[in-house]
Amino acid sequence: MRQPVPPTTRALPWLVGAAGASAVLLGAFGAHALRGVLDAGGREVWHTASQYHFWHALALAITCQAPPGRPRRCALAAFAMGIVLFCGSLYALALGAPRWCGAITPLGGLAFIVGWIALGLALHRTDKIAS
């Protein structure tokens, strides 16, 4: 008999798709729609945000391939939080948000670091299972 798929597992493809699609959309928005609006510094901040956004959308996709368990759940949550906090605060700063929003950015960076460590643990677990 087939095991039911937990709701959180069914949501993962949507999370990955939304993260990737929003990275492309926001990157294109910054490159085209904001071309005459942002100064050089704002464009650079926007570009940094969209690069980190895209790379961590890919990290989410890789994480989905890790075996289920606490390290995978931690990595998924940390990467998603990092995209929101790190990239979101940079997008906001590029658009003229108050400078205090920059205090949020390191929290997102920390979430990215935690995500990569958790992904490493999850993939290490895969290595142990294969042995």
Q: What is the pLDDT of residues 103-124, one digit of tens each?
A: 999 999 999 999 999 999 999 9
For the residues 70-89, what does the mean pLDDT come to? 97
| N-term to C-term CA, the chain | 28
Q: What is the pLDDT of residues 17-29, one digit of tens each?
A: 999 999 999 999 9
Burial of 42 (0-12, 13-18, 19+ CB in 10 A): middle
Q: What is the pTM of this model?
A: 0.87
In whole angstroms, give the CA distance from residue 3 to residue 5: 6
Six-digit token string for 38: 């942002």
